Structure 1
Amino acid sequence: MPASPSADPSRLWRPRRVLITRAARGFAHGRAMAERAAALGAEIVELPGDRLMLPKPPDPRAAYREAKATLAVVVSPPSKRRPQPIPPSADWRFDLAEGCHAHCQYCYLAGSLAGPPITRAYANVNEILAVLPAHLGKGGVTSASAERAHEGTTFEGSCYADPLGIEHVTGSLAEAVRFFGRWDAPVQLRFTSKFGDVSSLIGLPHGRRVRVRMSVNAQGLIRYEGGTSPLQARLDALGRLARDGYRVGLTVAPIQPFPGWAAGYEDLFARAATALADSPDLDLTVELITHRFTPGSKTVLRDWYPGSDLDLDEAARTRKLTKFGATKFVYPGETMRDLRASLQDLLHRHLPDARLLYWT
């Protein structure tokens, strides 16, 4: 099992190797990523073309380690630049990057992204952002909801990556924040993170059109989130952002009924309340997401983390089908009801002004 995260909230990822494609080198933003990574000590590999040439160690564990230490700077093709619906989080999702360098043993990307788990950062950020205005007012979540219409058209920027965790190399989030800050329309950029370094976002002209959510969990489960910031660092970062005028949120995930879970989640909400206590004009949302897995993700996670004691017992779960007909395993109905009732009560007790967006 990977070691627990360091108590140092400023710890930043230093990729060992950066692969930059020929097309990515044609963008100033892509070249700047490579320069910042080189300053951190990364080996920069300039590829002769646009196809990623990945090392293929014979040992699967070595291949995993190599991939997790690699950043690829590439160009997002037109097919990936088309925003896609992403209920229940937001109207649309768009991608500044894909993949994550952290070692979360319940990683929801396992089985979702093909190939080795390298992190890809897109050099053509301006092209990615330029297609968003055509989707103004056309979403099916906040744009079509009486309860959430005040959020405007929402764009999720962290569906397949944690963009804040690599921001010190990419600078892409700052570009997106400035873009939404200039966009004088009922819109909102949303992203979530497990990292606490928000220094590059403080002071940016966000125009209150950006909501930063921290992905958090009870302290007893943080040990499954190797390579991320400690829980308190994330909460402190959220308070810092709130005091800088950002709209903020808590993404509590993945919720699990571990021994002592009620006290663990009460501690989480109490800590959050303390971190946000002195934030003027606080706009706080909460998303509650229970743990689930698919047969494919279980296979990948068991391969990545063979020593993990994470509960992936299918016999203790209820089998359900996704809207695409795929199998997923969730907690039984009684467990879900107990978790939901308890967490909503704790939320109302410690963060009474927070808006609960959804439970799933």
Structure 2
Amino acid sequence: MSNRPPIDFRQIYLEPRAALLPRGQEILSRFPDAERIEVASHWNIPGLHGNAGMVKDWLKIKRQVLVLGTRKSLILRPNGRSADFIAPGMANGCALSCAYCYVPRHKGFANPITTFANIEDVERALRKHVLAQGPKTEANSVDPAAWVYDLGENSDLSVDALISDNVRDLVTLFKNLPTAKASFATKFVNRDLLGYDPQGRTRVRFSLMPASLARVVDIGTSAMVERIGAINDFVEAGYEVHLNFSPVIIFEGWTAAYTELFQQVDAVLSPRAKAQPAAEVIFLTHNAGLHEVNLEWHPKAERLLWTPGWQETKRSEYGGVNLRYRRGLKGKAVERFTRPPAKVGR
């Protein structure tokens, strides 16, 4: 884990249209020394995507390479889990290197950030969709009164905010949409976001896990003590802050480690912060293709993530074949995770 900025761009692959847009020009001006390489499509970059030899430079590419493109699809999808809808994201990929992240499954052997410059198109699509929903008349598990839109399905917005004003613009957009809220999960503490004045219309979900586990699988992220320590400040700055225990990874001594984590959270959070959070809990889902990639750059993490004796295959809603904890094991694990703390044992 690291507290330093996770980006140091040396190369920018860019679509010509993206470079002409105001946001694209702003991004290029932030990184004037980076080499610029024109590409026809941000999705198909010869020598970067699908190149097995690139996996040896996994961490360096994430830190040093940016792809600048335009968002083509503006479709909003129903969700019903941590959000009502999945918004068209303004980025894809991440400078952080969480070993369990599913996004690299779609990109192959290199997964740098792709940032989109056509922020106005996404803002129009979001505003139109929110207005079409009208007021939320029935409470659900996502939110009692507002339609919630996940803005960061395929990226970490706290990192994206280091690259451009896309995140600030989206927070400002939802500040002026009284029937909706923005939402995103993060593993990076970017204190610049404290000045965005969200006025309660943006939900930040801080992802937490035992520090000993995060040191192995959450490469490049903010330290757990820093994430927990930021929660009070984000609440005071006008964010709604939830906790995101995702993924929960089973390992020897995991219940004791999570008990200690809960105690740390309880000791740090202010009364105001404790009065407003909800928590999302998702147990680990892994993938054979990602396993093979990880073995090339971080085999130590795979000793925690790839445990076939405890896992079974699962077909995802998008048709992919993944691995999850076996049904009986997972049921017992969920029961232990949600048991009152006083009764939790090793």
After TM superposition, is the score higher than 0.5?
yes
> Which position in structure 2 is the counterpart of 1:118?
112
Cα distance, 1:162 vs. partner?
0.9
> Which position in structure 2 is the counterpart of 1:47?
38
The alignment yields a C-alpha RMSD, in angstroms, of 2.8
> Which position in structure 1 is the counterpart of 2:144?
150
Cα distance, 1:280 vs. partner?
6.0
> Which position in structure 2 is the counterpart of 1:34?
28
Cα distance, 1:112 vs. partner?
3.5
Find the residue that maps to 2:331 and give its secondary structure. Answer: helix
Q: How does 1:182-201 map to 2 (within 5 A)?
A: 182-183=176-177, 185-197=178-190, 199-201=191-193
Task: Identify the match of residue 196 of structure 2 among 201, 204, 223.
Answer: 204
- Output the CA distance in 2 between the equivalents of 1:293 and 1:313: 10
How has the CA–CA distance of structure 1 residues 282 and 138 changed in structure 2, closer, same or farther, with 3 Å as cutoff? farther
1:343 aligns with 2:308: no
CA deviation profile, 1:273-310 (whole Å, cap 9, x unmatched): 23322536842111001011133333333344345423
Find the residue that maps to 2:163 and give its secondary structure. Answer: helix
Which structure 2 segments of 5+ residues have no match? none
> Which position in structure 2 is the counterpart of 1:59?
53
User: Does the CA-based 8 Å contact 1:157-1:190 persist in structure 2?
Assistant: yes
1:315 aligns with 2:309: yes
> Which position in structure 2 is the counterpart of 1:70?
65
How has the CA–CA distance of structure 1 residues 251 and 302 changed in structure 2, closer, same or farther, with 3 Å as cutoff? same
TM-score (norm: length of structure 1)? 0.82
Q: How does 1:1-360 map to 2 (within 5 A)?
A: 5-6=1-2, 9-38=3-32, 42-47=33-38, 53=45, 55=47, 59-62=53-56, 64-65=58-59, 67-68=61-62, 69-77=64-72, 80-94=73-87, 95-113=89-107, 116-136=110-130, 146-183=140-177, 185-197=178-190, 199-223=191-215, 224-279=217-272, 282-308=275-301, 309-346=303-340
Deviating above 6 A after TM superposition, structure 1's stretches of 4 or more consecutive aligned residues are none
Find the residue that maps to 1:284 and give its secondary structure. Answer: coil
Cα distance, 1:134 vs. partner?
2.8
Which structure 1 segments of 5+ residues have no match? 350-360
How has the CA–CA distance of structure 1 residues 289 and 50 changed in structure 2, closer, same or farther, with 3 Å as cutoff? closer
Cα distance, 1:240 vs. partner?
1.1
Amino acid paired to 1:233: E
How has the CA–CA distance of structure 1 residues 35 and 147 changed in structure 2, closer, same or farther, with 3 Å as cutoff? same
- Output the CA distance in 1 between the equivalents of 2:109 and 2:125: 27
CA deviation profile, 1:244-286 (whole Å, cap 9, x unmatched): 1210111111112212211211121222223322536842111
How has the CA–CA distance of structure 1 residues 342 and 30 changed in structure 2, closer, same or farther, with 3 Å as cutoff? same
- Output the CA distance in 2 between the equivalents of 1:103 and 1:48: 25
Find the residue that maps to 1:169 and give its secondary structure. Answer: coil
Cα distance, 1:232 vs. partner?
1.1
- Output the CA distance in 2 between the equivalents of 1:269 and 1:288: 13
Amino acid paired to 1:313: T
Cα distance, 1:90 vs. partner?
1.4
Cα distance, 1:83 vs. partner?
1.4
- Output the CA distance in 1 between the equivalents of 2:265 and 2:83: 23
Amino acid paired to 2:276: D
Cα distance, 1:127 vs. partner?
1.2
- Output the CA distance in 2 between the equivalents of 1:147 and 1:222: 28
Cα distance, 1:54 vs. partner?
5.0
User: Does the CA-based 8 Å contact 1:34-1:44 persist in structure 2?
Assistant: no
How has the CA–CA distance of structure 1 residues 194 and 72 changed in structure 2, closer, same or farther, with 3 Å as cutoff? same
How has the CA–CA distance of structure 1 residues 156 and 347 changed in structure 2, closer, same or farther, with 3 Å as cutoff? farther
Amino acid paired to 1:72: V
CA deviation profile, 1:298-333 (whole Å, cap 9, x unmatched): 333334434542331323213333344543221123
Identity of paired residues, percent? 19
How has the CA–CA distance of structure 1 residues 189 and 164 changed in structure 2, closer, same or farther, with 3 Å as cutoff? same
Amino acid paired to 2:233: R
- Output the CA distance in 2 between the equivalents of 1:193 and 1:216: 9
Select the structure that is richer in helix. 2
Cα distance, 1:190 vs. partner?
0.3
Cα distance, 1:207 vs. partner?
2.5
How has the CA–CA distance of structure 1 residues 92 and 65 changed in structure 2, closer, same or farther, with 3 Å as cutoff? same
